[in-house]
Structure 1
Amino acid sequence: MAAATDRQMIAQATAPLPPRDSSAGWVVVAASMVGLAMGLSPLPFYTIGMFAPELQREFGWSFAALMGSITVQSVVVMGTGPVAGFAVDRYGAKPVALISLLLFGLTYMSLGLSGGNIWVYYGQWVLMSTLGAGTLTATWMHTVNGWFEKQRGLAIGIASTGTGITGFLIKPFSAWLIGNYGWRTAFFVIGALPIVIGLPIVAMFFRERLDAARKDTGLAAEPVVEAGLTLREALRDRRFWIMTFAFLLIAFALTAPTPNLENILRTQKFTLSQIGTITAGFGLSVIAGRIVGGFLLDRFWAPACALAILVMPMIGSYMLSRPEIDASHASVAVITLGLGAGFEFDLLAYLIARYFGRRSYGTIYGTFFTVIAFGGGIGPIVYGRVFDATGRYDMALLSGVACLIVGSLSLLALGRYPRWSQEVA
């Protein structure tokens, strides 16, 4: 009798998890969107192209050396990404996100103190990339995936639009800051954004389903073990290595043109004002790629979606490789690159959940981020070196087309989705 009473008391003292695909999950999506927008993934990447001419003029550094900062970030993230993913699985996404947003903002601000030593500058990028790793996509997608099942792709897509919003707004904002207050002040102001905007919103609205059950009921949530593979099990799965190969090529092709985009258009003899007009649509197309891609992922087989969508940046890269291109065609090419760049991380986040489950989602995502960091890290510097050697980007852009073709076709070998139970108590 006493044992039965104890079991009844335990049952009454536990609270069920909130349902997936509920309205509470969309609040988390909005908070994730803001957190991602203020993080390590978009802010340095979308602003380096604005700061590079100023730093080149100030210190005499080559364009390839300045693009090397992206490579430094990517190399560091290859090590810190998996560690951040493990920390998310072990300690929870929210504390990792809050600490990392604060430290990332402070280290980004330190770039405004740069002197003429390129190695010190690279050291600042190492520190920023290490401390800011908790703001990368794995942190936010770990939590968003837990809130959704039927609308998972759309939720991932909307949350991921944070990077596109940053890409759309941060370039003109950076240009205005640099033009009116100088590049040092611009670094300080942009670095303050994760602290002033990101921290409060994440602190108030970003939470996992388990935390939501505790807060909303005041009771202990039911113990839950998510279904899926451990990292060790995933490493023995052929699909892990298919995705590794495919995303290495895709990341190279989609990342490399972005920080070089302004310079690619300069080689096509466009004026500065024309370049501003042509590139204005990039951020919006990234947003569109995320939302449309997420919508399609919920309805069609993901590898087929990848092939269909990645055809567009293939065409865009080919158009930009031509000896001459007019402004309208250049605008179309930039938009196609944005659509592809917007879809890339949504695709990865979705494929990991579908093929490997959520048991070790953060750790597996962090490991894949190493692949993307490597491919994306060597891309900009390869493009920069091609420009330094030839004064053009045509051969680099055509290599990107080839990478997209091979990478997208490789994903077709993934086969059917495994069947995972949603959660096991």
Structure 2
Amino acid sequence: MEGQRMTGTSGPIPADEGPGIIAAEPVRSEVTRQAVAVAVACAICMGFGFAPIFFGTFPQFLEPVSRQFQWSAAIFPQAMLISGVTGALSGPLVGRLIDKLGVRKVLLPGLVAWAATLVAMSFLNGSLVMLYVVSALMGPLAATCGPVGLAKVVSSWFDRSRGVALSAILGGSVAIFTALMLVVARALIIEIGWRETYLVLAGSIVLIALPVSYFLLREAPHSVSPSMAMMPGSAVEGVKPTAAFTSRAFWTVMLSSTLVCASCSGVVSHFVPWSAERAVSPGIATFALTLYSLVGPFAALIAGAAADRLRRPGMLAIVFMVPLIGFLAMLTSQDWAVIIGLTMMGAGFAAVAGLLPFFTSRYFGLANASTIFGVAIGLTTLSLGIGPVLLGVLRDKWGAYAPGSPIVVGALILGAVLAASFPPYPRSNGGETSP
């Protein structure tokens, strides 16, 4: 038994046994030069992914694209819904390919394919068929170079500080790049038009994200070192996908996360017309949207640090309550409340999105991490598409956004309640981790 503990082959050990072993063999720092380089590469790759480039800039494209083709408020948001559906359906396959072939063999060609879908978006001609086809291709192609593989790379290099690392890279970097792309897209659309802006965004993926990923991004030589294996709550062996997908932990985490993400995506995607309806000036609306993204890195880091230290995941329910408080403040229609409220929604969204890979790796381990997280991120992406479409449909039905507010509030309340009921993290049982 002692030999098993020292080699780390038996999985995580109870917390009360940990100190003696850690004292016998000091744990080396995870923050090495190579680990930092890989983390930076992952952050840049995430920054040029689906969330910042397409979803993040969507509020700026919604009005000019819809106006040019005379589409209703619910038409163009269907692009996010369709890409979310296809991304969700392809998530398990993408994850399986990454687990089988390795991250680089899937991610590098995926970056080129993802950029090609943005080029195709620039050729939209008002045909709904073309919109649907391009959107359907965008989901799975963007997934090949997104958080499904990057979460596994980050988790392979960081264990004790995994919550901070995942939140900073998968949540914080997305928030920073979203804020940047939001401003860049707005300026480019005004200067050169929305079609050319999509071409510029596609070119930035090939010229920046692709070479950085090629030279710097790679998995750790050993996914979990012996010293990391001795950390309490570190799932080494991993759970089989079928067991994960039938567990209470998986569906509680997914339902709470998708409810929050769908609500935030719906509100922020329609925020420009929503704010105009409530007599909020365009300048205030743009400032609030910028803060929505900028606050993300700080919120993600705080949530990640809390996740690393809290042994009871249900205590993180406070993170899931932040968007609810923010949206309630926005309903007052006061300029200062709208700014603070949308900022809180941005903080909550970034924190929840950043915690999702942490939860999946802690509950189910790394052996099948990409397969399990592929399904999780697919469902989350699907929720990001459902939110804007649902809010657009409600707006078209009632002629205003206000009647749909109780639905948003209800979804956010349910998400926070589910988060409070998260089950404890698993302990090893004879070397096998179970949810």
Q: Structure 1 residue 41 and structure 2 residue 78: aligned?
A: no
Q: Which residue of structure 2 lines up, in the alignment, with residue 81 of structure 1?
A: 91
Question: What is the CA-CA distance between 1:20 and the residue it aligns to?
Answer: 6.8
Q: Structure 1 residue 370 and structure 2 residue 378: aligned?
A: yes
- Using the size of structure 2 for normalisation, the TM-score is 0.85
Match runs of 1:281-300 below 5 Å: 281-300=291-310
Q: Structure 1 residue 329 and structure 2 residue 349: aligned?
A: no
2:173 maps to a residue whose letter is G
Q: Which residue of structure 2 lines up, in the alignment, with residue 387 of structure 1?
A: 395
Change in CA separation of 1:19 and 1:95 when aligned onto 2, cut-off 3 Å: farther
**SS class of match (2:299):** helix
State the distance in 1 between where 2:219 and 2:351 align. 24
**SS class of match (2:295):** helix
| Deviations 1:19-76, CA, capped at 9 Å, x for gaps | 6723132221111110011112321101221112111221111121011111111111
Q: Structure 1 residue 401 and structure 2 residue 409: aligned?
A: yes
2:345 maps to a residue whose letter is L
State the distance in 2 between where 1:277 and 1:414 align. 35
Q: Which residue of structure 2 lines up, in the alignment, with residue 176 of structure 1?
A: 187
CA contact (8 A) 2:83 2:135 kept: yes
Question: What is the CA-CA distance between 1:197 and the residue it aligns to?
Answer: 0.8
State the distance in 1 between where 2:426 and 2:104 align. 29
Structure 1: gaps spanning 5 or more residues: 1-17, 214-224
State the distance in 1 between where 2:173 and 2:70 align. 34
State the distance in 2 between where 1:406 and 1:148 align. 32
CA contact (8 A) 1:227 1:357 kept: yes
**SS class of match (2:309):** coil
Of the three residues 209, 213, 216, the one matched with 1:198 is 209
Change in CA separation of 1:329 and 1:367 when aligned onto 2, cut-off 3 Å: same
1:345 maps to a residue whose letter is A
1:22 maps to a residue whose letter is V
Q: Structure 1 residue 167 and structure 2 residue 204: aligned?
A: no
**SS class of match (2:284):** helix
Question: What is the CA-CA distance between 1:166 and the residue it aligns to?
Answer: 2.0
Question: What is the CA-CA distance between 1:272 and the residue it aligns to?
Answer: 2.0
1:350 maps to a residue whose letter is F
Question: What is the CA-CA distance between 1:211 and the residue it aligns to?
Answer: 8.0
- Using the size of structure 1 for normalisation, the TM-score is 0.87
Question: What is the CA-CA distance between 1:386 and the residue it aligns to?
Answer: 1.6
Question: What is the CA-CA distance between 1:198 and the residue it aligns to?
Answer: 0.3
Once structures 1 and 2 are overlaid, which stretch shifts more, 411-420 or 162-171?
411-420
State the distance in 2 between where 1:412 and 1:141 align. 24
Q: Which residue of structure 1 lines up, in the alignment, with residue 143 of structure 2?
A: 133
Q: Which residue of structure 2 lines up, in the alignment, with residue 218 of structure 1?
A: none
Q: Structure 1 residue 55 and structure 2 residue 90: aligned?
A: no
State the distance in 2 between where 1:97 and 1:202 align. 8
Q: Which residue of structure 2 lines up, in the alignment, with residue 356 of structure 1?
A: 364
Question: What is the CA-CA distance between 1:288 and the residue it aligns to?
Answer: 1.8
Change in CA separation of 1:254 and 1:226 when aligned onto 2, cut-off 3 Å: same
Q: Which residue of structure 1 lines up, in the alignment, with residue 348 of structure 2?
A: 340
**SS class of match (1:416):** coil
Question: What is the CA-CA distance between 1:420 and the residue it aligns to?
Answer: 4.8
Once structures 1 and 2 are overlaid, which stretch shifts more, 109-118 or 412-421?
412-421
The alignment yields a C-alpha RMSD, in angstroms, of 2.3
State the distance in 1 between where 2:288 and 2:412 align. 23
State the distance in 2 between where 1:362 and 1:127 align. 20
State the distance in 1 between where 2:165 and 2:408 align. 29
State the distance in 2 between where 1:120 and 1:32 align. 32
CA contact (8 A) 1:313 1:340 kept: yes
Of the three residues 235, 238, 241, the one matched with 2:248 is 238
Change in CA separation of 1:398 and 1:77 when aligned onto 2, cut-off 3 Å: same
State the distance in 2 between where 1:357 and 1:396 align. 39
1:414 maps to a residue whose letter is F
Change in CA separation of 1:274 and 1:203 when aligned onto 2, cut-off 3 Å: same
Once structures 1 and 2 are overlaid, which stretch shifts more, 299-308 or 371-380?
299-308
CA contact (8 A) 1:387 1:393 kept: yes
Q: How many residues align?
A: 393
CA contact (8 A) 1:32 1:159 kept: yes
1:261 maps to a residue whose letter is F
State the distance in 2 between where 1:248 and 1:47 align. 20
1:186 maps to a residue whose letter is T
2:209 maps to a residue whose letter is G
Percent identity over paired residues: 22
Q: Which residue of structure 2 lines up, in the alignment, with residue 68 of structure 1?
A: 78
Once structures 1 and 2 are overlaid, which stretch shifts more, 237-246 or 379-388?
237-246
| Deviations 1:285-305, CA, capped at 9 Å, x for gaps | 122221121111111246345
Q: Which residue of structure 2 lines up, in the alignment, with residue 119 of structure 1?
A: 129
| Deviations 1:224-267, CA, capped at 9 Å, x for gaps | x9511010121342222322332332332232212112222111
1:145 maps to a residue whose letter is S
**SS class of match (1:135):** coil
CA contact (8 A) 1:98 1:199 kept: yes
State the distance in 2 between where 1:51 and 1:304 align. 38
**SS class of match (1:66):** coil
Q: Structure 1 residue 21 and structure 2 residue 26: aligned?
A: no
2:175 maps to a residue whose letter is G
Question: What is the CA-CA distance between 1:340 and the residue it aligns to?
Answer: 1.0
| Deviations 1:270-322, CA, capped at 9 Å, x for gaps | 22223212222111112222112111111124634531122221011122234
Change in CA separation of 1:274 and 1:22 when aligned onto 2, cut-off 3 Å: closer
Q: Which residue of structure 2 lines up, in the alignment, with residue 155 of structure 1?
A: 165
